[in-house]
Every structure is written in C-alpha cells, then in structure tokens.
Structure 1
Amino acid sequence: MSTAEPGHTIAVAVQTPAHSGMGDLLTYRSAQPLAPGTLVRVPLGRREVLGVVWEALAAPPEGVDLRAVAAVLDGIAPLDAHWRRLVNFAARYYQRSLGEIALMALPPQLRDLQPEQLARRLRRPAPTAQTDAAAVPLVALSAEQENARAQIAAQPGPFLLFGSTGSGKTEVYLRCVQAMLAADPSAQALVMVPEINLTPQLEERFIARFGATSVVALHSGMTNPQRLKSWLAAHNGSARIVLGTRMAVFASIPQLRLIVVDEEHDASYKQQEGARYSARDLAIWRGREQGAKVILGSATPSLESWYASRPASADDPGGRYLRLHMPSRIGEGALPRLRVVNMNHQPRRTVFSAPLLAALQERVERGEQCMILLNRRGYAPVLHCADCDWKSDCPHCSAHQVFHKADRTLRCHHCGFTVRVPRACPGCGSPDITPIGKGTEQLEEQLATLLADVRRPDGSPVRVARIDADTTRAKGALEAQLAQVHSGETDVLVGTQMIAKGHDFRRITLVAAVQPDGAFFSSDFRAPERLFSLLMQAGGRAGRDAQYIASQGSRGELWLQTFHPEHGMVAALRQHDYIAFAEQQLQERRDAAMPPFAFQALVRADARTQEVAQGFLLAASDAAYTQGLPGLGDHVTLYPPVPLVIQRVANVERVQMLLESDNRPALQHFLAAWQPLLLALRNQPEHKGLVRWLVDVDPLAI
C-alpha cells in the first residue's frame, strides 16, 4: 500500500447510494499516475471506501478542492479493459450506476480488509496452475458428442448445445475446456451453473479431470475469505478454470477463452435484487467482446435462445447462435416414458393416486429409487378456520403464512415473519383450525404412512426423505442428503425444484409430479415454458444409468397427475418433443408480440402506501409524455401502473409499470432519457414515503 499526495487527477468508480444522483464517477487527486483499473481506497463522506480507477483526467475541475486518494492497492494488478467494458455495458444496459456494478463484482472482503491484512494475504505464494488431464482415462465420446465437440472447435459460435437429459453435455464441456487449455498455456475458462447446490458435483468432475490447483469456485455460499482467494486466483491467472453461479460472470478473468453456461434456461441466472442483470446474456456479450467462445447448454432451452439459434431459411437469415443437437442418451438408455393419471377419475382430495402408489411400491421392492416433485415447501400453504373463515395471513404481507408442522410454526416465505401455531382460532376461539393444500412436508409424512408396509429387497422398511430449503439450511446438510440418495439409503425422495435439475441420480427410475396444474392457465406468459422445462428436467432424473435399467428389466418413467390430461403440453411431454412445444409457444408469442419478438422493461415503485407508489409511477409516465422522450408512442409503449400479485411485502406496497418496444435500442434510449426524470421525481415532496424505485430490463416475471 502507498499513500497518495497531490499531483494527478483521476476519475474513480465507487459505490454511491442508490439513485443518489451523484453520477457514475467521482474525481480525486493522486500523488502518482494510476493506470485505469487500479484498486484504490478513497474518502467518501466520513468513510473510506474501495474504488476502481476508471480514467486519468487532463486537469482538475476549476474551483474544486479535490480530496486525495487514501491508498493504492499495489499488490493487485489493475483490472483490464475487457472487465471495465463489461461493467460499463452492464451498468448502461440494466440502468444502474457504474460504481454499483463495479463494486458488486468485487469480492466483499476486498472492501473490508485492513491494508496490512491484505498485504499478508498477497504475500502467500499462489499455487502453480497445472492440468493433469492426461492421467485421467477418458471415456469414448458418442457420435453426437464428437460432432458437437468438432463443431465447437471449428466454428466461432456462440453455440446452443441442445442435448436431452443424460446425453452427456457435461463431457462435451470437459473436452472443450481440455482442448482450450492444451492449445494455450495461459488460457482460462468460465463454467457457470444456475444454483449453488449444483456447484459441488460439477467441481468434483472438473477437479478429477484437471487437478485441484487449476479449478476455483465462485458463489455466494462461500465464506468471504474463500471468495477472495478464488477471485485473486482467477485475476492473476493461476486458476485456469472458474466454476460459479451468476456472480461469476463478473469475475476478473484476463485470459478468458471459453464460457460455458449450463442449464442456460434457468431463471436463477437473472438477478432479482439490486442490479437485475442476466448472467446468461452478459456471458454472450462478454464472449463476443473478449474473443471467447460461448456454449449455452440445456435440454429445454429458453425460447429466447431457441429462437436465436433458428437455422437460416429462404426468407430468414437465421439466428446468431449455432444449434448443436444431441437427442440420444449415453449408453443407449431410453428417455423416460410418460404415465398420465387423470385425477378427475380419482376420489376427491386424492394426493397419491392408486396407480402411482402401486408403481412406487413395485419400484421400492425391486430396490429402485423414486422421486416425488412438488414445488411448494412446508406442510400446508395456509391454516383455515371453517367457523369464521380466518386464515393464517401474514400481518406484514399480502400473503398467507405457511404451516410448518415439524416445528409447529407459521412462516411467511416472503418477509420471514414467524409465529407459533395458535392452539385455537385467533378470530373466534374455535379449536378446529385445519391445514389447506399440500406442501413437501405433508407429502413426506403421507408417503411414510402409505408405504409403511412396503419392504426393500433386504426386508428393511422403506426410507422416505425430503430435500427442500427447510431441510438444507444447515451447512453441509444438502451434501449429506444427496450422498444418502447416491448411496441408496433413500428409497423415495420428496422435494422441490432444487432436486429436479442437474443431479445425476443413477438409481432413480420413477419421477412423479403430483400437482403441476397451476401453471397450465397462469396469467404469466412464461409459466408454460417454466413448467415444461421443470417437468422435462425432473423426468430426466429417471433412468439415467442404462446398464442399471437393463439389469433391473425396467424403464424410467415420469408420472404426471393432472386434471387436464388433454392439455397440449401433456402431448408434447409424452413424445419428449421440446421442438414442437417451443414452436407452438413461439407462434403464440409472435401473434401476441411478446418476447423474443418484442422487448420489455418494468419500472417498480415500493412505498409505504399504494397511493404514493401509484402516484410516483403515474407522475413518471406523465413526465415522459410531457418531455416527449425519444421513441415514446412510435417504438415504446407505456402501460398503466398496477399492483404486483403480492402487492405488500414487509409492510411495503409494490406497484409496477410495463414498458414494451419493438426495438431494443429504442427502449434503451428511452430508459436512459427517462432516468434523470425519475431521479428528480424521487425528491419531490408529494412522493415522500417512497421507499425505492427500480428498473428491470428484460424481466422474467410480470
């Protein structure tokens, strides 16, 4: 560390308060010339904060007494121009301040360590990068895998690797990374997964192939020291492969040559707090800007990626991506067969139909494993009193408190407010309060009762387990539970969508979705896409090991209990026909001018009252028309503000306003021109009580 004195004028990106209007860059003086990308500590108000030097200025502003840079982080090489351009693009596109994006992309501990602590950490010798791929025996690629690998090697991309569940997409990723590392001794790769719980198993495969010193992970489940260590290894080049969740797209990887986005369709790649960026979309931009190949992989691609990979035709030049198709499972394993149970023919309030129970019993008795999917945790969504119609509503949100039987609590899954279950109805005193609806906790309990007499091949009783956000809170709990499934200790696994994707369960032969109908008729135009993807991904957990399936003399099955067996989605699921489903959905969206044939943004206002929130957005709309902002009316349409479906969370009222455009640049120009008006409105007296406002570009939920 070195202390600065007067001499040079620099512009520094710092994390200023949201919507403060302070501007993207603040100006400081430095005793020495500092290269762009240098990390510094600078005074901001009464605090000293971390900043990134963005540019050197020719002269200080006139009549301004600049404050001096407090310290320079000498031991860390400046962040390169590629990284700064990525941050700048993300800030502009997602309508956030440059300093917010820049500092968000840096490890938290870098902001907090004292200078001497950081100096000690930097003095520790960094491990030497190495690859020991040659020591690992490689499995032979299938013809489809080899074709995909050859195309990726020969073409510039980006690529959409459209491979069915179990087709061996991960092995293609591994081979492409291996070829890239072998071709360039300094090259680095970024491999992203949608969720933290998928990182450990992928990390194991990469470490087994390339060695522990070459691979680092980056995700929010790590401790701050772990994240800093991984970030430094990627930044200085000692880590050749970076595995991570969406935050990893901002990692400093100077020699980046390959980016893999696994399960690219997953909504987890879209940040839902603060700067609402899409890591998948930024990966495409970063790959093009930095000269890195990009592979998007999925068995059920997002419709945006599917459309972007459409082949050329006589009247269509085609999409920007190259689509690579791998329809077959490794080892000639068959895709799971769909079994549909018409719940209209079952007794009222049936949770597990008789045919499904019989199938579960048969599989357990043969020593096979089963998986039950219900994307709702807890015991029941609500408690209800039949005498006075009381419901377990959250006092702080427009939502019910969920009944959790294990600890006898009512919990709001939106604000976290928790109370003990009352002994009697708080409204009328009746002791007869009953749960309504089903959650994973109740399914686990019911299955344990219904299968109590079922025996495993060794004569021991059936073992039912549950994996959801409640059972995996403790550190290491998820890994321990997954290990029990892999070892065969669990016979029937009940869980939410966190078990439905990415996991390579070798002995699961039956997957059942017990209550999937809610999304069939949702008002959200993306709901069918999400449901189809979830069911296809969940079904893909069944029958993945062709040798095991053959030895058992059975076939993987996906069971679907539905009141709408004639729905078009069911027909597409029966044939595993994502292509037909995608084309039908794209036609509907084309007819309705919805993404990917149009571009959207949301402006949301949160306030203490609906009146203030609605008033702010109405005033913002009026200001846009009064000022005649570019594109408004010609390319950009503003819709009236409406409350969110859950309009109150933690005593804050939420309202949103939709913007649509037939032209992406026009929408961006409009938003950029609108920002100063929104900032000015924020400070007007009539909007006192406004908690926050935000812009969400390319929203996934409306």
Structure 2
Amino acid sequence: MPIIRVALNVPVDTLFDYQSDEATQHDIGLRACVPFGKKQVTGVIIAVNSETQVPAEKLKSAHCIFREIEPLPAASLDLFHFCSQYYHHPLGMVVMNGLPVKLRGNKPVKLKESSNDLQYSLTKAGKQIDLSSIPARQRIARRLLTEFHHATTLTSHQAKQISPRAVKLLQEWVQQKWVSAIPFPPSAVKKAAAIPTLTAEQEIAVNTITTDIQQFNTWLLHGVTGSGKTEVYLRIIEHILAHGKQVLILIPEISLTPQLEAVFRARFPATHLVSLHSGLNDTERLTGWLQAQRGEAKVILGTRLAVFTPLPDLGLVIVDEEQDSSFKQQDGLRYSARDLAIFRARENDIPVVLGSATPSLESYYNALNGRYRSVRLQSRAIKNAALPLIQCIDTRTNKTQEGLSEPLIKALDKCLAEKHQSLVFINRRGYAPVLLCKACAWTALCQRCSSRLVVHLRDKKLCCHHCGHRENFPRACPHCGNQDIAPFGQGTQRVEETLTAHFPAARILRIDRDSIRRKNAWQNILQAIHAQEVDILIGTQLLAKGHDFPNLSLVGILNADTSLYSTDFRASERLFAQLMQVAGRAGRANVAGHVLIQTEFPDHPLYHALQKHDYDALAQTLLAERKIAGFPPYVYQALLRAEAHNIAIVLDFLTQAANLAKPPRSVELFDPVPAQMLRLKGLERAHLLIQSSSRRQLQAFMTEWYAQINKLPAHKVRWVLDIDPLEF
C-alpha cells in the first residue's frame, strides 16, 4: 500500500507517514486529511513512497486526499523547502503558513460561482479536440465546441442560452485545462489609460532591464521620490505580458494596494489582475490565489505572504519599497519576502526588480560590489516638478506650543491661503504617549508590556499599542491620589485638536491605524484627498510611502529626533528613509514642495544629507560606521529568541543552548541578554546573538545547532531562530 509523507502545521521538524490505498505520485502537492493524536488535521503531501520507517502496527491511514484543486507545483514545494532550511523552521508550519486559510481546514473547498459573468476561451489543449470525436449524444459539448470555433470566446450568459447545464460543463473543462476563464465584461472594453512619455532616465532604465529580461538578474531601481519608478515597472510588465507571462508585484503595506491596483488596472484593462492582502476575507483571498495558481491572473499584486503564491508562468518579480521592514515577518516564521522573492526569481531564471528611493544598506552594498545591477533615476518624472526644499526649524530657539512651532503654523496658514494641501507627519497615534502625575511622577504603565499606556482621549481609554490592552482613564493618580494628572507629549489625535483650534475653517483629516479600521475606509480617504476635499492631512507612516498627492505642497515633520539617540544600529537608516519618503510626498506635480522639520539638532549630518537629497553621502557614512563596528552588511546575523513568564527561566534556557554550541572560529556567539523591551504581552524575553562574516558557515552551524536545541527540555519556554533579524 502506498505511503504518503505529509507536512502538518505542528512545531515538530519532521514529516508524518500515513497509509493511503488511493495515493499516486501525481498526488504530491495535494492536501490530505489525516488523524493526528485525537484530532483530524489537514496537511500537504510532500512525497509518496512504497515503504516507511514507522512500525506497521503504529501506521495510521489517511482519511482522504482532497483533489478539488490542482496540487502545489514542484517550484512551490522547492520554495517551502528552502524557506524551512534557511530560516530553520518546521517544514509543515512553513507550508501551511503559505496557504490561504480556507485550504488549511479539514473540508474540501467549495467556491460559489462568481456573480460576475465569465468569458471562456479554448486553451492550446482545447483547440486540439476533434469535434468528430465527441459522441452525438453529448449534444451540449458538441454545440459548445462548435460555438468556440465560430466565435473564439463565450461568456457564461451565452453558454446558459445554449443550455442551463453548459456552464457546469465549461467549469469541468477549465479543470481539465481545455478552457480558460476570465471575468467579463472584459476590461478590454474600457479604454486604456493614456501612456506618458518616458524621461531620458526612465527610457534608459526600461531598455537596460528589458534587454536582459530572459534571465535571472537582481536589479536595484534606485530613483528619487517622484522619479517615476512605477512607470518603469509598467513598461517592463507590458513587455512580460506580451510574452504571456505572469508578474508578481510585492508591496510593503496594504494601504498602498488601492492606488497601485487602480494604476495597473487603468494601464492593463484587458489583463486579469488579482490583489492578495490581509484586507480580503478568506473567500476573496482563496479566489485570487486559485486564479493565480491556474495561470488565469497575469498580474498578482500583494503584501509579503503573496511571495508564496504558486505561479505557473512567472516571468518577473517586482519588490516595491524594498527597504521596508514590513517585508520581514516579525513572529512565527520570520521570513523576508524580499529575500524569498530573489530566491524565487533565481530558481525560475527570471529578473527581479527591487525599487526604492532609499535602498536598504544591504541592497545598496550589493549594488556597489556588483552582486546586484543598479539603475538610477535622479530627477522627477513630471516636467517642472522639482525635489522639495527641505528646511529645519530649530526648536531650541523656536519654542513649540502644543507640539507646533510658530514658523510651521505660519507655513500652514500660507498653504491654506494658496488653496494647497499640507501634511503634518507624526509617527505616533493616539492623543499623547504618556499620562503623567505632576506630583509624584507616576506614569500609566502596561501591566503586560514594558511600555507606557497611550492616552486615547476621545474614547477615554488608555491603550497599549504593543499588546492591545485597554483600560479606563483614572480620575486621580492611583499612587498619590493627586487629581492633576495630565497627558504629556503629542500623538496624531492631539495634533488634530491643536490644528483644529488654530485653523477652525480648514478641512482636517487624521490618518492612522485607528481611523482606517473599517473596510474601504482607506479608499474613501484617498478619493477625498484627490478630490481636494481635504486641506490639512495629519498622518503616521501610513502616509509616508508611495502615495501621489498632486496638490500637496507643504510637509511638516514633528518628533523626528527620537530616532537619533536610539540603541538600534539601523535607526539612522530607517529615519532617513522615512523622512525622505515623507518629504517626497510634496511637490510631485506642478505645485512647489516645501518640507519643514522641527528638530533640536539642525546640524546633524542626517538632516544635512536630507536637505541635499543626498542618499549616497549618508549611505557611505553609515557603511563606514558599520564596517568598523562589524555590523551588517559586513556580517550575517541570527538571533535565538526565547520568552517565558519569568526572565530567569528564559536566560537559563539560552545559557543551556549556548553551552551546546560548538561554533567554528568564523562564527561568533554572544552572551544571552534581556530584550530591549523586556516584557511583551505578558511574557519576558531575552535573546542570544550569533554572527559571522560567512553566510555559508553561519548556516552550516545554525543547522547543526538547531537540531541540538530541539532536544532541550523547553516546556515552559517558547523559542524561535530569527535569521537576518531586523529588530533586537
């Protein structure tokens, strides 16, 4: 009897063997429902063998194999294997993490027929079917085939007029790959958007990349904000689509999806596009995933999880805003979607384009040493659109009232008078970050995290932005009884209140995670901005990336200095990228851009580089510092993270793990230390850093060490290996 080897979503790094009399080699990649302990669980068949190491009396039988959708292709299984090995995470958890939620359950998938009409056309295999080979009694099949030969395409509506059963037959033919189906009315009916003329720089970039489009290359498209990177993507995609291939575009934030989706649909109205992100419900996500897997969707736009989508005709991968830390998963399987995208492109022998105005230092370094091929866009794409003028407001001499300085208020007033839009950027939501008692210096702390509770004044709540804990606003200080407790510092809600007091006639809109929780709220906000129904925007980093607001002329930046004295060695790189992105929202069309940064350190080299729009100067300085300090990209790092209810248990576990390690001379192991935020969500955390100048030797050591750590008793401790960590 055949033996199926199944990857299950359990924290054990092994495959599980089951008997299945119906299994064949063609079932590799299909889902199977199997008994596991007292439960039934679903996993993915990784192999079908004729023998097993499990004793016959212990070998269980699989309940069933689900065959209603196509199996995962070999390329997807290879990606999962690589991901499991590189990130040292159980294969079953990697595989099930990469599937839509609806495919993880113990039931076959039943998709309702779309309410939209579908347009069917014969595939290559379908065109080879001989009409005379279909028996005369199969009248519906004969009529459908005859119609295809006459009209080349059929809609669901037209098929129903032939027979009510015709649509069901067409769906069977889609499964057999005789017919392909796309939504109708086809967007081809819509007129394609006007195609802008390329600038000289854009033309060079497009020609350079498309010349080598048939093979693997990692391209770093380094273009200033507003330089038209999206237009370069569109031209390269057009080239790929002309060859019938699929394109995967990864974006860091769900908030960028509506705008980019609109751009792609307008440019390629006849092309089937799907979006894959966490804003979709489970059915919507599965529908898009299946359309991509069947090759029907040609453009796939998604956030980091979309990197695992099976794509049979993949011809190009684009990673927009490649420097963004959102591409790195920060819990469970800690993968980098950008790095997996590069691996996937290499395995498929296709190009991958990494786009950014401020590349990560790792990518910039790889471009400098020739591992990546670099293409630059150094001027804005729209004629007469110049890079914004950036100035610093010295808050040591220009004192702030409620977080706003006099020069910034005057600039906002002038902007309103000229009927232009302005943006006030503060990367801190809520009303105020601290609730303080002025008598005894008590502050409201989260009981579950090593952090302060943030004041949300409208809800009369104190909230933890790390664990979600909420509690009522106290009437008096719980420590000394003083009733004079006050919010301290600024958040988006407090800035909104201050601006409303200063400019009562202005239309002010706050944009942060609290204001865009409802479905479609983000699309409505974007429409209001583009329709110029907003005068002043107040926003967090949600507004920093990728958005194009033609009438925005002024950007004011508050509280930027906090990152200048961070313990994180990447803080300067992140701050520069964030400020460059925010500044880049201004002056993108015919409106001149002006950026004002409130700071106590106007002479800091980071602000000087920002004022000159000189990424290279800062990058060279930071690389020199990293080389001296022995930080990435000059070394490769990994963290063994652990957490438990007591820090002593955590440190004891990490010490035991360190004692097991026998690193070669090229691999350095540091002592266990408590995490920067010691307590998070009720658990105390610590980690142990491992680094090496050789990725290969680090990986070889980690593989051996991972197997040893797995044998340690760890019932009170949760631990995970974090390869190429971004947060400490």
What TM-score do you get using the length of structure 2 for normalisation?
0.87
Q: 2:698 aligns with which of 622, 646, 667?
A: 667
Q: 2:24 is aligned with what amino acid?
A: P
Whether the aligned pair in 1 keeps the contact of 2:636 and 2:692 (CA below 8 Å) is yes
Give matches, 1:263-662, under 5 Å.
263-310=321-368, 318-332=369-383, 333-347=385-399, 351-452=403-504, 461-546=505-590, 549=591, 555-624=592-661, 628=662, 632-662=663-693
Alpha-carbon displacement from aligned partner over 1:388-428 (angstroms, at most 9, x marks no partner): 22211112221111101111100111111111101111112
Deviates more, 1:114-123 or 1:494-503: 114-123
- Distance in 1 (alpha carbons) for counterparts of 2:201 and 2:53: 62
- Distance in 2 (alpha carbons) for counterparts of 1:331 and 1:144: 12
1:112 corresponds to 2:85: no
Give matches, 1:103-182, under 5 Å.
103-112=96-105, 114-115=107-108, 117=110, 127-128=181-182, 132=188, 135-155=192-212, 156=215, 157-182=217-242
- Distance in 2 (alpha carbons) for counterparts of 1:591 and 1:116: 55
Per the alignment, in what secondary structure is the counterpart of residue 399 of structure 1?
A: coil
Quickly say closer, same or farther: Cα 1:210–1:423, change in 2 above 3 A: same
Per the alignment, in what secondary structure is the counterpart of residue 104 of structure 2?
A: helix
Whether the aligned pair in 1 keeps the contact of 2:4 and 2:23 (CA below 8 Å) is no
Whether the aligned pair in 1 keeps the contact of 2:402 and 2:498 (CA below 8 Å) is no
Deviates more, 1:136-145 or 1:431-440: 136-145
- Distance in 1 (alpha carbons) for counterparts of 2:17 and 2:364: 42
Count of residue correspondences: 658
Q: Tell me how far 1:438 sits from its aligned partner.
A: 1.0
Q: Tell me how far 1:636 sits from its aligned partner.
A: 1.2
Q: Tell me how far 1:82 sits from its aligned partner.
A: 1.1
Q: Tell me how far 1:165 sits from its aligned partner.
A: 0.8
Q: Percent same amino acid among aligned pairs?
A: 41
Identify the residue that residue 456 of structure 1 maps to in structure 2: none
Whether the aligned pair in 1 keeps the contact of 2:18 and 2:61 (CA below 8 Å) is no
Give matches, 1:34-113, under 5 Å.
34-35=25-26, 36-61=28-53, 63-65=55-57, 66-112=59-105
Alpha-carbon displacement from aligned partner over 1:228-265 (angstroms, at most 9, x marks no partner): 10010000111011100000000011111100000101
Which segments of 5 or more consecutive residues in structure 1 lack a partner in the other structure? 1-6, 311-317, 453-460, 550-554
- Distance in 2 (alpha carbons) for counterparts of 1:349 and 1:24: 62
Identify the residue that residue 161 of structure 2 maps to in structure 1: none
Identify the residue that residue 697 of structure 1 maps to in structure 2: 723
Whether the aligned pair in 1 keeps the contact of 2:33 and 2:106 (CA below 8 Å) is no
Moved runs in structure 1, 4+ residues, more than 6 A?
119-123
Per the alignment, in what secondary structure is the counterpart of residue 50 of structure 1?
A: strand
- Distance in 1 (alpha carbons) for counterparts of 2:220 and 2:547: 21
- Distance in 2 (alpha carbons) for counterparts of 1:90 and 1:585: 30
Per the alignment, in what secondary structure is the counterpart of residue 330 of structure 1?
A: coil
Q: 1:566 is aligned with what amino acid?
A: D
- Distance in 1 (alpha carbons) for counterparts of 2:197 and 2:304: 31
Deviates more, 1:70-79 or 1:85-94: 70-79
Whether the aligned pair in 1 keeps the contact of 2:446 and 2:469 (CA below 8 Å) is yes
- Distance in 1 (alpha carbons) for counterparts of 2:683 and 2:302: 33
Per the alignment, in what secondary structure is the counterpart of residue 494 of structure 1?
A: strand
Quickly say closer, same or farther: Cα 1:495–1:135, change in 2 above 3 A: closer
- Distance in 1 (alpha carbons) for counterparts of 2:404 and 2:524: 28
Q: Tell me how far 1:505 sits from its aligned partner.
A: 0.8
1:13 corresponds to 2:2: no
Quickly say closer, same or farther: Cα 1:570–1:230, change in 2 above 3 A: same
Quickly say closer, same or farther: Cα 1:136–1:388, change in 2 above 3 A: closer
Q: 1:255 is aligned with what amino acid?
A: D
Alpha-carbon displacement from aligned partner over 1:41-76 (angstroms, at most 9, x marks no partner): 222223322222212224233633422222222232
Q: Tell me how far 1:619 sits from its aligned partner.
A: 0.9
Q: Tell me how far 1:120 sits from its aligned partner.
A: 7.8
Q: Tell me how far 1:27 sits from its aligned partner.
A: 4.4
Whether the aligned pair in 2 keeps the contact of 1:24 and 1:97 (CA below 8 Å) is no
Q: 1:32 aligns with which of 8, 23, 36?
A: 23
Q: 1:169 is aligned with what amino acid?
A: K
Whether the aligned pair in 2 keeps the contact of 1:589 and 1:595 (CA below 8 Å) is yes
Q: 1:322 is aligned with what amino acid?
A: R
Q: 1:93 is aligned with what amino acid?
A: Y
Q: 1:239 is aligned with what amino acid?
A: A
Whether the aligned pair in 2 keeps the contact of 1:10 and 1:30 (CA below 8 Å) is no
Per the alignment, in what secondary structure is the counterpart of residue 11 of structure 1?
A: strand
Whether the aligned pair in 2 keeps the contact of 1:34 and 1:53 (CA below 8 Å) is no
Whether the aligned pair in 1 keeps the contact of 2:18 and 2:62 (CA below 8 Å) is no
Deviates more, 1:636-645 or 1:492-501: 636-645
- Distance in 2 (alpha carbons) for counterparts of 1:102 and 1:581: 40
Alpha-carbon displacement from aligned partner over 1:137-176 (angstroms, at most 9, x marks no partner): 3221111111111111112421011111111111111111
Quickly say closer, same or farther: Cα 1:116–1:180, change in 2 above 3 A: closer
- Distance in 2 (alpha carbons) for counterparts of 1:25 and 1:338: 60
Identify the residue that residue 3 of structure 1 maps to in structure 2: none
Q: 1:238 aligns with which of 296, 315, 338?
A: 296
Q: Tell me how far 1:211 sits from its aligned partner.
A: 2.7
Q: Tell me how far 1:291 sits from its aligned partner.
A: 1.8
Alpha-carbon displacement from aligned partner over 1:57-104 (angstroms, at most 9, x marks no partner): 242336334222222222322211111111100111011011111111
Whether the aligned pair in 1 keeps the contact of 2:674 and 2:686 (CA below 8 Å) is yes
Identify the residue that residue 458 of structure 1 maps to in structure 2: none
Whether the aligned pair in 1 keeps the contact of 2:191 and 2:269 (CA below 8 Å) is no
Q: Tell me how far 1:266 sits from its aligned partner.
A: 0.5
Quickly say closer, same or farther: Cα 1:390–1:521, change in 2 above 3 A: closer
Deviates more, 1:135-144 or 1:155-164: 135-144
Whether the aligned pair in 2 keeps the contact of 1:25 and 1:99 (CA below 8 Å) is no
Identify the residue that residue 134 of structure 2 maps to in structure 1: none
Q: 1:189 is aligned with what amino acid?
A: V
Q: 1:557 is aligned with what amino acid?
A: H
- Distance in 2 (alpha carbons) for counterparts of 1:321 and 1:653: 40
1:218 corresponds to 2:276: yes
Deviates more, 1:480-489 or 1:588-597: 480-489
- Distance in 2 (alpha carbons) for counterparts of 1:62 and 1:234: 37
Identify the residue that residue 707 of structure 2 maps to in structure 1: 676
Q: Tell me how far 1:293 sits from its aligned partner.
A: 1.2
Per the alignment, in what secondary structure is the counterpart of residue 447 of structure 1?
A: helix
Whether the aligned pair in 2 keeps the contact of 1:342 and 1:562 (CA below 8 Å) is yes
